[in-house]
Structure formats: structure tokens, C-alpha cells
Chain A
Amino acid sequence: MANLGLALAILGAVLAAFMAGIGSAKGVGIAGEAAAGVISEDPSKFSKVLILQLLPGTQGLYGLLTAVFVLSQIGVLGGKPLNLTVWQGLMYLAACMPIAFVGLLSAISQGKTAAAGIGIIAKKPEQSGKAITFAAMVETYAILALLISILTVVNLK
């Protein structure tokens, strides 16, 4: 049963990195398509659209960060995995869920918002600050989820 607890904790770490990573890949992809559409017509807007394309990439980093914390806590990174009970394993798994799910969904939503913002830049480049603000608002919820995941992981014993 000790191995099952460890496996559950590792599953949590994997899901945090995996789901938030998928979300970011999709979000950055959506924004990238929009950015390519604008750049194909007006390459001078590259720097402005690049910022918007990068925004949905942060969720993947949050997932990775959470995964590293978990793997470090359970000794996998140090090469000495702890003997965890099933209950402890489940707690690590649960702790990873906020960033796994919120990371996945918020990155996709942020990608769509960023793509819409790129549309603003295409027509009114002077309004790029507002376009970035709209996309950055989505980030708030990914940060909240990251906080909960990290706070839970570091406080688990």
C-alpha cells in the first residue's frame, strides 16, 4: 500500500504538468494562429502580438512548478522516495487538481482572449495595452489555482 500512496502522489504531479501543459500548448497555439494572420499582412506588429501569444504559456509553467514541488516533497527528485500511505498519496493528488484543471481551461480561454486581442492590434495597434489587459485578466484564476496547489503541497506532512 505504501507504493500505491507514492504512485498517487506522482500521478498528481504528472497531471499538474500534463494538463496545464496541454492547456498552454492549445492556448499558445490559438494565439499563435491569430498572430501569424496579422504578421502575414503587417510584420511590423510582431513584438506586440508576441506578448499576447506568450501569455497563455504561463499555465504550463505553473503546472511544472507544482509538479516539481510535489516530486521534491515526496523525495523522488532526491532519489529517495518516501513511503506514503494511500491517504497521503490522495492528498498530494488532490493538491495538484486546482492547477491541473484551472491551468488546462484557463490557458485555452486565455488563448482565445489573446487571439481576440490580436484582432484589436491588427486594426488599432495603439490599443495594444488594453488587449494585453483583457488577456491578463484570465491569468488571475490560474495564479489563484497555483497558490492553492502550492500552499497545500508545501503544508502536507
Chain B
Amino acid sequence: MKDTAYTFAVAKTRAVETKLLSSSDLEQLIGASDYENAVKVLKDKGIVGEKDDVQNSLKSQMNETWQLLNEISPEIEPLEILIVKNDFHNLKSALKSLVSPNRCEDHFIVPSIVKPELLKSAVCNKRFYELPDFLENTAEKAYDVLVRTMDGQLADILVDAATLDNILQRSKKTGNVYIIKLAELLAVTANIKTAYRAARAGKDEAFLHTALCDTKELSKSALIQAAKKGPEELLAYLSETSYKDAAKNIRASSSAFEKWCDDIIMCHIESAKYKSFGVEPLIAYYIAMETEIKTLRIILSCKYNNLQADIIRERVRKLYV
């Protein structure tokens, strides 16, 4: 599809981008004396309705953002890369509800490509053929592993690896360099996260092979070899790659690394600010909203636990605006 087909959508996105929070807004939130005052600031800014529950309100905002993009985008396929992870998350929740008393509905995330109710019914009734192709095989495999081994973590790993594979495949299908790079960054940061955790837990090579996905910029086999030897060897390997900042941030703290993962994505999507046509500004807007809501949750949670402003600032993500 031609980039000019997105003219209306991009202009509308530019108009709604003005409602995104700025650094000074976040500073105001951080400066609030306690949790209640922080919530009051959100209500004053109209981010949360006067009588709404904060968490529910933040949760519904992603769904509203997706609905907006769905309405204005001339085609939805290139954007589905943004929400496909929610489908795989919902699959994990549905699978776990088979072996635990927890209600999976409480853990479902929207927006998603497949309706959570359909996913639940397909998994609970073992009618995996009702699911779309991208979920069917993974659901069947993960279900098989779960009932055979009762190992929830192994099933999770299968689903997580399938999520990244699916994101990479979808990105390649679009042929859009911006989306391909975004998918690559998502996969690389997830791989580093998984490899480091696996190295610390002393997981074997077979586990790493299942859990990691193939990426262009960071060799899977080299990552496995390094992770197999231990966390320090993995960090030493990362220090020699273009992802040396990952090693530096992991050494600093887990929250610094999580922030780095989000910030590196933000640095990439920022180039969409200068594009007047094409799908890129729509993708950037969705990720900007996602980051904003994540940051608000972090600030509110810190406020709830009475953490100091400096500690909160260390965790605040880079914003799109």
C-alpha cells in the first residue's frame, strides 16, 4: 500500500499526539506528595475520569488507542505486530487456567487479534483448530507440554519463543524497514533478558535453544554459548557487541536494564516524528501510549510505596513527545 494512503491517519495521529504526556507532566506527578495526590494530578489532567478507577482507566486506554488506529488505518496487518504479543499472553493465561484454579479472564490483555473468549473456549475444549494459524500450532504444542510435564515454565517458554518468531515473521512480511528493525529490537532485548535469566538459573543448552529466537543482529548460537558458561561470560560477550549498553545496564540493576530495553525501542520509533506519510507514525503513537501508561503505572506504584523522587526518576521511561 502506498504511503499516501495513510495521509488522513497520520494527520489524525499528529492531532492526538498533542495529548501525550510531556516530561514536565511526569515531573509534576513525581513531585506529588503521595499516591492520592498523584492520582489527583492524573484526574486534573483528564487522563483518568473523575470517578474512574485508576488501574481500570489505564487498562482501557490501550484498547481505546487500538480502536482508534483500527478505525483510521487503511490496513491493519502492519499494525498487528503491536498487539500479537497480547494474544500469546492470553494463550498462556488460558493454558494455565487448565491446571490452576485461577480465572484466566482476570489475566487476559486487550487489545488482541483473537477475542479472549474464543481463545478460552478453544483451549478449554481442546478445539485448537478454531484458532487462527499463528496460534494453533503453538497452542497445541504448549498444551501438550503442559499436560505431559505439568511444567508451566516450559509451556511459557514455548509460547514466548513463538511470540518473538511471530513478530519477526510478521515484520518481514510487511517489507517495511522501520517495522523490521522494531521487531528485531523487540526480539534482541527479549533474547538478552531470557539468556541472562537462564544463565543465572544455570539452565542447559537445550533450554536456551527453545527459549531464544533467531535474530540478525545478535547471533543466537553465540548468545547460547556465552549464556551456557554463566552470567558474567554472557555480559562479557554482550560488551563486545553493539548491545554493550545492555551489559552495562544489567550490571547496574534490573530496573536500569528494563528501562534500557524500553528506551532503545523509543529511540528507534522516534524517527516517525519526521514522517508525514506511511504506517510509521501510527506504530510510533501506539508504542508511545504503551510507554506512557507503563511509566504512569511505575510512578503510581512508586508513590504507593512511598519511594523517593530520585528513585522514581531512575525508572521513568524516555517519552515520545
Contact = CB atoms under 8 A, between A and B. Distances in A.
A binds B: yes
Given A30-B4, A37-B72, A112-B4, A119 B10 contact: yes
A93 B62 CA distance: 58
Interface of chain A, main secondary structure:
helix
A36 B276 contact: no
24 contacts: A30-B4, A33-B8, A33-B11, A34-B10, A34-B11, A35-B11, A36-B8, A36-B11, A37-B11, A37-B14, A37-B15, A37-B72, A38-B11, A38-B14, A40-B12, A41-B15, A112-B277, A115-B7, A115-B10, A118-B11, A122-B15, A122-B17, A123-B14, A123-B15
Size bracket of the A interface: 10 to 19
Given A30-B4, A119-B14, 8 more contacts: A34-B11, A37-B7, A37-B13, A38-B14, A40-B12, A40-B15, A119-B11, A123-B17
Contacts of B13: 37
A119 B13 CA distance: 9
B16 interface: yes
Contacts of B11: 33-38, 115, 118-119, 122
A7 interface: no
A40 B13 CA distance: 11
Contacts of B15: 37-38, 40-42, 122-123
A115 B10 CA distance: 9
Interface of B: 4, 7-18, 72, 276-277
A55 B144 CA distance: 63
Nearest to B14: A122
Contacts of A118: 11
A116 interface: yes
Contacts of B277: 112, 115
Contacts of A42: 15
A115 B14 CA distance: 11
